[in-house]
Structure 1
Amino acid sequence: MMNYKSILSLLLLAVTCISFAQQRPDAKKIKVTGKVIDKMSSQPLEYATIVFENSRRPEMVSGGITDSKGEFDIEINAGTYNVRIEFISFKTVEYKQRSLQDNTNLGTIILSDETTALEGVELRAERSTVEIKLDKRVYNVGQDMMVKGGTVSDVLDNVPSVSVDVEGNVSLRGNENVRILIDGRPSNAINVTDALRLLPADAIDKVEVITNPSARYDAEGGGGIINIILKKGKNQGVNGTVTVTVGEPENTGITGSFNLKSEKFNIFTTQGYSKRNSPGNSMTDSELLNPATGETIGYLDERRLNSRIREGYNGSFGAEWYLTDNLTWTNTLSYRRDTGGNPDEVLFYEYDADRNFLGTRRRFNDQLNKGENVEFATNFTQKFKKDGHQLNVDFSTSINRDNDSSAIFDFTNQITDNIQRQNKNLVQLDYVLPLTDDMRFEAGYRGDFTDVVTDFKVATFDDGADDFLPDPRFTNIFEYKEYVNAFYTQFGSKISKFSYLFGLRWEDSNIEVNQLATDDFNNKRYNNFFPSAFFAYELSESSNVSLSYSRRIQRPRGRFLNPFPNLSSNINIFSGNPDLDPALTHAVDFGYLKRWDKVTFNTSLYGNKTDDVFSFIRRESGDFVDGIPIILSGPVNLATEYRLGFEFTLNYSPYKWWRLNGNFNFFRNETQGEYAYTNFQDEEVVIDLDNVATGWFARINSKITLPYKIDLQTNATYNAPQKTFQGRTLGVISANMALSKDVLKEKGTIAFNVSDIFNSRKRIMETNLPSINSYSEMQWRERQINLSFTYRFNRQKNERDRQRRENGEDNGDFMGKP
């Protein structure tokens, strides 16, 4: 395999060749300028498309798009053109046989919303599934048939640069230190991984991927930020969509999104119900060793079957009042409830050193889950006379309750009860002041206050008492409090084609980690400065280069800190580390973006240096179950991690009926550190954690319009093998497929999709320790087949959120919007 330097060189060479091939040195060059606005709101339209079609040679097409001010400045060859100005869901404006011989200003072009009934409307353009911008990538969920009937985890696993492993852990560019936001706020769920599996994909509008955030964003997440934007109706009048899903294994659900909008208010709601069965399985084959001699003393094969059943309801109701022309007040109330179970059966097959069968043990864990969440959020947006001058005030409060109980049947029968309660409050102020048209100042405050209490109880059956008695080894009340106050300021400007943005964020963290059963109280208080700097230069109307730096933090939470383990397996036990320190990251990113008529190419070279990074280690506990050693795993702070990577994303539309997008990411991790502990024989064991690992993953997505307007979408993902300091993970490939057809005069859509066609999406690992060598495969969810029907009333298929900018969703995107 070529190294990343060779790949980068070839790509840059290809880009250069294509750029030179497009030049015609003998033709007279002229510039065509103008501005495009929305007729109803008089707001500028960003990303409107301007197409110049040579009237004599129609195959000769050029053009460009508008910037954040709705303006365009496009260089073309002098000649006679048919000029079209297009935007999704707007009527196209066209100038036929327009002679353009000298620099020309087309003036202000006004586009009207396409209000004609769907019957007879020709949809001239469709927003691409992936929009590539200089500072972030936006994945538009509504265009993706692949995730119909799925969850947010399925959505994220289709987003460029993002991977979701079989256990639901989200990583960005191969880095799991990522911050997940929902509507710009941290998720209020206790377990974010579980919450992503419960939230239906049909409730999601789009996903923003920010690989190197500026100082205005929360400093949490050394790998970057993923912002999940929920649907909020904005269309005038009464309108909405309803999606019904059935699937195998059992997957039934209905999700509806509705809104009622007038000149004075907008009322919107999203309601969803789902019932899912996600069967999974895992296997681990272990060779048991004598740590002193290394000889084999036995074998143990473990087989596990899961049947994860979830029934859930997600609902939100919101109202947006336009108190004045410049003041908007929005309130949203959300409620989530879910119940489920996870019958977990584990079979252990034991063998001696000569592989002679000794016997079978069975362990059955009947787990029940129940969760409930309520959140209220309010927002005031005050706009001032000057365009872009704005103040946002946000407040949200939430209460989350999760209850997991288990009945474990083994050679010792046990019952467990895990009750978690979380209260979370957030206050945020953001102020934006444009000093000139090309200069802006920002400042803000954010207060994030979280209290989590975990009450974990274990009782073991006592034959003498003929009853279940509390087991103090595993019973504890664990309390986690995190109070973070942050202030930030930013200043940015644009000088000709050069832009810069400097920011500084200060966060004060007050953390309490308390174990009430053992009277162990810990307080960690620290404050940090988080500077950021961004530079961009426009090489042309369609290409940019950028350089950015930021400092980030990752605070350990939840199961990372709680030392009292769970009991899903009594020989492989996970235990948290209450003494973990936060990890601090320096991130640098160099990017290049280029657009052609049919191709958008975005590439970046990035590097991270993380101090006190924490990772998982496995070690012998010194205890045995029927002669089998119990292995403990948990996180520790290592010394330093260096990460260097290269990635590119490519959007290509070779024909109107075919769109392709691909993403490739290569990274190299180097860890320097060691971990020492004293084993059960009172011997000090030092684990050398120095490790150099390379990895890469690639994803390609294809969408084709077949005859009879049937859409076919396919994608494939490959995660390459990767070495770890205690073994390695093996390469895995998976693929998905979907078909869709519009019906009822494009008011309805039928979609059929298959997730994990080859049933190959697993995590495959090899682990090597002094006392054990093991090979394991873990499949969280088996192949899923879904059929869904979506019906739209008074809403177009390719609806554009008219008031996206008016409601502040683009605030802070100062730079690099070509």
Structure 2
Amino acid sequence: MNIKVLVFLFLCVVKLGYAQNSGNVSGKVLDKVTNTPISYASIEIKEGKKIINGGVTNEQGDFLIKNIPLNNYTLEVQFIGYKKYISNLEFNDAKKTISLKIILDEEATELKGVDVINERSIIEQKIDRKIINIGKDLLSAGATAVEIMNNIPSVSVDPQTNSISLRGNSNVRILIDGKPTTIEASQLLQQIPSSSIKQIELITNPSAKYNPEGMSGIINIVLNKNSKIGFNGSVNNGVTFGKTPKLNSSFDMNYKTGKLNMYGNYGLNTGKNSNFGFVKSTEFGEENYQDFRFENTNTSHLAKVGFDFYLNEKNTLSFYTIQNFFNGKGKSSTAVDYLNPLELDILQLFNNKNDNYTQTYNLDYKKEFKKEGSFIEFEVNYNNNDNIEDAVFVSPNATNYINNKGNNSLINLDYVNPLSETSKLELGLESRIENTQNNFVKDGFYNSDFTYERNIYSAYATFSEQWGKWSAQVGTRFEKYFANADFKKIGENNANFSDDLFTLYPSGYISYSPSETNSFNFSVSRRVDRPSIGQVNPIREWSTPQVDSEGNPELFPQFTNSFEINYTRKTKIGSITSGVFYRRINDEITRTLFENPNNPEKLILSYSNLNDNNAYGVEVSGNLDFTKWFSSNISFDAYSKKAKGIVENEFVEVDVTIFNARINNTFKVSKKLRFQLFGMYRGKDLGLQFLRKPMWKIDFGSSYTVLKGSGTITARFSDIFNTMNFAFEGTKPKRQNGQFNWESQTVYIGFNYRFGAGKNKALQRKERDKNETQGSSGF
């Protein structure tokens, strides 16, 4: 006991002596403009380049650093978005305690990705993705996400079906805030107001960290979210005038104080749309002419509400929900005029009502460890969709009532560990369970139903290493996939679809940066496209007097091996990225059109696994500031593909090269006024059965800043020469040609107003947007 007491007294004396020969520094860090405290600012005390001690400010912006040996030092205070603060410290026997009041001044430019809305859409090329930051310009002005997608490099939208293609291929995975949804992409694009979108990410060759679905890659739509200090927000209103006006509005707000950030976004899209077209068919010398007229009135409400709760510096709990209400009413007519006077002409009228309610709930917990960059993150996401369609056909008379329900549950766990300054290990687990139920009532009586379930259990591991000017990453995703569907229809035998696969999906990346202005990237990955419920459902999806659309339960997955090389060159006027890619597709799933065996007068539009296929292409894009008043976003791409398969019991093979170009020019007349000129060209596309003809358009617009920079007025005249239409011709299974038009020539007027006293203060490691944007294995 006496020895313990002596040791204790000795340690106290040593500590007291050390304290008497050391100093303490304390202080408070404040914003220069608002005079509000800055939390989590970094404090470093240096002797030359060596860090002696340090810490971070608390929620009130205070800090205290003890036991600093008496000497002369440099104090550095840093926080993202602010200029670095540097001051000298001198500790001696007469001055052992120093108290400071530190004022930080913001950087001259705001941080991208934290602004509510940028003035100009910017296209950024990252190592594994292309990011389009949506601004208040021609790229984003419009009613729904469809308008934005049509203006984005490498992306095209079918004007009739709203299906998305990336690099000329429609097998693309669509995500909202990095999470899957049960809504079909064609319907989803109509439900999202363009003003609710913050950015769009094109991930053409995802790593093993991401879900492998989507042959041509992933398109991630990121909705607005803000995390400024204090209360802030923006209001955006726009009207598109075509044949009828269409309203697009949104409201964004957030309140950040202390440990809590609350945010919300509401978007409204409503209006009437008119489409029309014709198809002329010839078979065995007999001709007929089909005239189509469509008129739809749609209203969509989309709301996103959430919060981030910073338990402490290392632990964050986040939650958000997305609620989407969609109501659509449509009417159409299909007139078939047979040139043969012996055949009776047909006029079919169609009225339908569609109500859809979709809800998403997301809970995320992130734990950071002492090692810089090391963390574990747990996420739960639930998505539910309830869709009701009520349709009435006239001549022949019929009623269709369809109730479709689906839900998607995702549980995800990620772990990141930087093994050293140059290497990093990432591990993850994921469980995804999807269910769909459909019930079809025809003429008031039960007709058919189906149930569809698929479970996906996966794990991934990636390892990255950097040495000198080189960096590399390798990884593999292990996936167990179950799918089962039962189809029942009166008068037909029950059908079943099932699949059970265990598959590995490897990926690899190599990057070389010989200088700060040059970088090369090579990537390779294996991907899969599994048949969707719509592709395997043998129950008729829709019908016209001459065509029935239905799925094929005999489909099986198609696999793709993808290779890509990109080169980015930074110049004095901007950056230019060019790249080439090659895809080898096995058992490609494609659309087929064949004669109905039960009714030779009608055709069946379905799906089939055709032979293997190859596709390759080249892309060039750039953000260029030619002068202080003239800048451009430019992109060119060309894709070559070979398709071969069986059509009407005949082997068919085609080769086609598709060329696309887009250019968005900005002319800055003054700090407040700018003009824009946008043009696009989409080249012809040849499939096994149809040739789609080229299409092009030119838009002109302007924006003017008002209210001391808080407001922006935007105007746009789209498709000035009214040249956009979807025209095609084909010879199999019969000779056909046709054209479809929509309200492409429109005038848009919009106003955006931003309010709030808070300043942009990105929180290191706290921004949930980084999880949503950069993604976890929840993809």
Q: TM-score, normalised by structure 1?
A: 0.78
Name the structure 2 match of 1:363.
348
How far did 1:622 drift? Answer: 4.0
Instruction: Give the whole-Å Cα distance in 2 for the aligned partners of 1:623 and 1:512.
Output: 28
Q: Tell me the equivalent position of 2:502.
A: 527
With over 3 angstroms needed to count, the CA separation of the structure-2 counterparts of 1:724 and 1:149, relative to structure 1, is closer
How far has the Cα of 1:351 moved from its partner?
0.3
Contact 2:316 2:766 in 1 (8 A): no
Contact 1:278 1:307 in 2 (8 A): yes
CA distance in 2, matches of 1:434, 1:808: 21
User: By how many angstroms is 1:187 displaced?
Assistant: 2.4
What stretches of structure 1 of length at least 5 have no aligned partner?
A: 1-37, 45-86, 94-109, 118-124, 290-295, 460-467, 676-684
Change (3 A) 1:527 1:538: same
Q: 1:398 to 1:722 in 2, by over 3 A?
A: closer
Partner of residue 263, structure 2: 268
**738-747 vs 359-368, greater mean Cα deviation:** 359-368
State the alpha-carbon separation in 2 of the partners of residues 747 and 557 from structure 1: 46
Matched, 1:551 2:526: yes
SS at match of 1:435: coil
CA distance in 1, matches of 2:742, 2:186: 13
Matches within 5 A, 1:417-436: 417-436=401-420
Q: Quickly say closer, same or farther: Cα 1:452–1:757, change in 2 above 3 A.
A: farther
2:226 counterpart residue number:
233
**What is the match of residue 802 of structure 1?**
762
Supply the distance in 1 between the matched residues of 2:744 and 2:345 (Cα, whole angstroms): 26
Q: State the SS of the aligned residue for 1:775.
A: strand
Once superposed, what is the RMSD of the aligned Cα atoms?
A: 2.8
Deviation at 1:604, TM superposition (A): 0.9
* Matches of 2:636 and 2:531, distance apart in 1: 29
Alignment pair present for 1:750 and 2:713: yes
Q: Verify: 1:592 aligned to 2:567, yes or no.
A: yes
Tell me the CA shift for residue 126 of structure 1.
6.8
Q: Distance in 1 between matches of 2:137 and 2:704?
A: 13
Q: 2 CA distance for matches of 1:634 and 1:433?
A: 47
- CA separation of 1:40/1:357 partners in 2, compared to 1, >3 Å: closer, same or farther? farther
Counterpart AA for 1:315: A
Q: How does 1:111-150 map to 2 (within 5 A)?
A: 112-113=105-106, 129-150=122-143
- Cα displacement (A) at 1:428: 0.9
* Alignment-derived partner of residue 294 in structure 2: 306
Instruction: Determine the C-alpha separation between the residues in 2 that align with 1:234 and 1:258.
Output: 9
Q: 1:477 to 1:813 in 2, by over 3 A?
A: closer
Which amino acid in structure 1 is aligned with residue 355 of structure 2? K
Aligned twin of 1:719: 682
| CA pair 393-673 structure 1, distance change in 2 beyond 3 A | same
Pairwise mapping of residues 127-526 of structure 1 onto structure 2 (< 5 A)? 129-166=122-159, 167-189=161-183, 191-248=184-241, 249-289=244-284, 296=285, 298-352=286-340, 360-410=345-395, 412-459=396-443, 475-517=447-489, 518-526=493-501
Partner letter of residue 759 of structure 1?
Answer: N
Note the C-alpha offset of 1:800.
5.9
Instruction: Kindly provide the CA deviation profile for residues 748-767 of structure 1, in whole angstroms up to 9, marking residues without a partner as x.
Output: 11111233333332221112
Structure 1 runs of 4+ off > 6 angstroms?
Answer: 356-359, 811-814
User: Could you tell me the percent identity over the aligned residues?
Assistant: 25
- The 5 Å alignment of 1:564-583 reads 564-583=539-558
Larger Rg: 2
Q: Contact (CA 8 Å) 1:146, 1:736: kept in 2 or not?
A: no
The equivalent residue for 1:779 is: 741
Specify whether residues 407 and 88 from structure 1 end up closer, same or farther in structure 2 by C-alpha distance, changes over 3 A only.
Answer: farther
Question: Residue 781 of structure 1: CA displacement?
Answer: 4.2
CA distance in 1, matches of 2:683, 2:108: 49
Question: Are the structure 2 counterparts of residues 198 and 531 from structure 1 closer, same or farther at C-alpha, using a change threshold of 3 Å?
Answer: same
Partner of 1:63: none
- Secondary structure at the aligned position of 2:376 is classed as strand
1-structure distance, mates of 2:466, 2:671: 49
Counterpart of 2:6 in structure 1 is: none
> Is the contact made by 1:279 and 1:782 (CA closer than 8 Å) also made in structure 2?
no
Are residues 551 and 567 of structure 1, via their aligned partners in 2, closer, same or farther at CA, if it must alter by over 3 Å?
closer
CA shift, 1:469, in A, is 6.2
Q: Which SS does the other structure have where 1:301 is aligned? A: strand
Q: Counterpart of 2:390 in structure 1: which amino acid?
A: S
CA offset at residue 432 of structure 1? 0.7
- What is the CA-CA distance between 1:801 and the residue it aligns to? 7.2
Distance apart, 1:267 and its partner CA: 0.5
Is contact 2:267-2:303 (8 Å) kept? yes
- Residues 573 and 136 of structure 1: is their aligned pair in 2 closer, same or farther, counting only changes over 3 Å? same
Over 3 Å counting, the alpha-carbon distance change for 1:244 and 1:422 in structure 2 is same
Q: Is the 8 A contact 1:40 1:112 kept in 2?
A: no
Q: Is this contact kept in 1: 2:137–2:703, CA < 8 A?
A: no
Flag the 1:127–1:697 CA change in 2: closer, same or farther, 3 A. Answer: closer
Question: How many residues matched?
Answer: 674
1:788 alignment counterpart: 750
Q: Which amino acid aligns with 1:588?
A: F
Unaligned segments of structure 2, at least 5 residues: 1-36, 44-78, 86-102, 111-117
Q: List per-residue Cα deviations over 1:549-590 (Å, max 9, x = no partner).
A: 100011111321111123441211111111211110000001
Distance 1:357 1:600, change over 3 A: farther
Q: Which moved more, 1:714-723 or 1:580-589?
A: 714-723
SS at match of 1:177: coil
Q: In structure 2, what is the equivalent of residue 762 of structure 1?
A: 725
Residue deviations 1:697-753, cap 9 Å, x none? 111111111247322222211111122222311111123332211111111111112
Q: Using the alignment, how far apart are the partners of 1:583 and 1:739 within structure 2?
A: 45
